Amino acid sequence: SEQRPGTGGLGHGPDWRPVIRPRRLRSTPAMRRLTQQTRLHPAELILPMFVRDSVDEPVPIGSMPGVVQHSLDSFRAELQRAARAGIGGVMLFGVPERKDATGSGATEPQGILNVATRIAVAEVGDALVVQTDLCLDEFTDHGHCGVLDAAGRVDNDASLLRYRDMALAQADAGSALLGLSGMMDGQVRAVRDALDAAGHFDTAILGYAAKYASAFYGPFREAVQSSLQGDRRSYQLDPANRREGAREVLLDVEEGADVVMVKPAMSYLDVLADAAASSPVPVWAYQVSGEYSMVEAAAAHGWIDRERTIDETLLGIRRAGADAVLSYWAIEAAERWARA
Ligand code: PBG
């Protein structure tokens, strides 16, 4: 045709030439930078950390290359690095030496998680939000997230009583935000009530609202040396259920959660998008151990570009609606973005 591209309009002229050209906005690095819709920032990253009782040196976690169970010394050093990297916070998990049926170590002031919390608050409490996992599975010898009844089933309401005590121990240790990951019914309300009755009005609650019974937690079980027999399907959500995730988000918000969580992240972006659309409180996502290890393993084989893949996973999770992301790459990503 004689007509110049784009001058004919729709309906006349050479209609094989596109009039609408989305590529214009992809044409140069400057244009792409200007039109980027989702941006990644260190402040929206939270680093999960494992602190182990009675070790002098950090212990590598075989199924999570690059992640360790910290000694108290390596923990202090990593906290300083996290603060320098400008991430938003840390989520602490304890790896106790001794476990028992009720998870006593969770409520003892000298239990490893409570000791680690005090250290973190003293080291970086002004710069980072120091958060703690509130769940019994690291502390119980049967590995379940609650206590068991006589028949060996996870007893919802008896577990709530343990969570209330655990919440007080963590708030006393200075945790700013309690991550309720046990998936017992009514846990947010039960813990909020215990905190308020003790005057801990300012301690925030992160409700693990939509936490699915996921195979992606596999490497984490090694990280905390979980002794779990069986599975968690009687309390964590069925991966098939989208509506149920939305319901749990609503319930946690009603019960007083300050933030709600979707977990895992990458295989649950629909649930995340639902939560982001309906929740009046911030929605976070947990990029869990298996998501980390999967990328690390493929990258170690040279099958994918490690750094591009990491950033793409984080972008996808943010784009789906997460306000912040728990990620084992938090420090590395934050440091790399600062250099870019
Ligand atoms: C339970 C808890 C789990 C994870 C975080 N909190 C394990 C589970 O529910 O089995 C998994 C985190 C990960 O896989 O990175 N306290």
ipTM of the complex: 0.96
Here the CATH number for the domain that contains residue 299 is 3.20.20.70
Per-residue model confidence as pLDDT tens digits over 26-64: 999 999 999 999 999 999 999 999 999 999 999 999 999
Cα–Cα distance for residue pair 124/67, rounded to 1 Å: 20
Number of domains in the chain: 1
Is residue 99 among the annotated active site residues?
no
Catalytic residue among 211, 223, 253, 261: 211
**pLDDT recorded at residue 49:** 98
Choose which residue among 133, 217, 228 to substitute to test ligand 1 binding: the one with the highest number of ligand atoms within 8 A of its C-beta: 217
Percent of the chain scoring above 70 in pLDDT: 96
236 lies in some domain: yes
Cα 89–188–110 angle (5° rounding)? Answer: 60
134 lies in some domain: yes
Helices (H) and strands (E) in the chain, counts: 11, 10
The values of phi and psi at residue 321, to 5°, are 130, 5
Give the helix ranges, DSSP H, for 89-207. 112-124, 156-173, 187-197
Per-residue model confidence as pLDDT tens digits over 134-178: 999 999 999 999 999 999 999 999 999 999 999 999 999 999 999
C-alpha separations of 43 from 40, 83, 284, 324, 334 in Å = 9, 10, 13, 8, 8
Per-residue model confidence as pLDDT tens digits over 209-254: 999 999 999 999 888 888 798 899 999 999 999 999 999 999 999 9
Per-residue model confidence as pLDDT tens digits over 294-336: 999 999 999 999 999 999 999 999 999 999 999 999 999 999 9
Cα–Cα distance for residue pair 17/218, rounded to 1 Å: 52
273 lies in some domain: yes
151 lies in some domain: yes
**pLDDT recorded at residue 10:** 58
**How much distance in Å is there from the Cα of 262 to the middle of ligand 1?**
12
Range of the domain at 164: 39-339
- With beta carbons less than 8 A apart as the criterion, state whether 85 and 331 touch: yes
**pLDDT recorded at residue 6:** 53
Is residue 211 among the annotated active site residues?
yes
Question: Which amino acid is located at 192 in the chain?
Answer: R
30 lies in some domain: no
Per-residue model confidence as pLDDT tens digits over 96-148: 999 999 999 999 999 999 999 999 999 999 999 999 999 999 999 999 999 99
Decide: helix, strand or coil at residue 323: coil
Task: Say yes or no: CB of residue 50 within 6 Å of ligand 1.
Answer: no
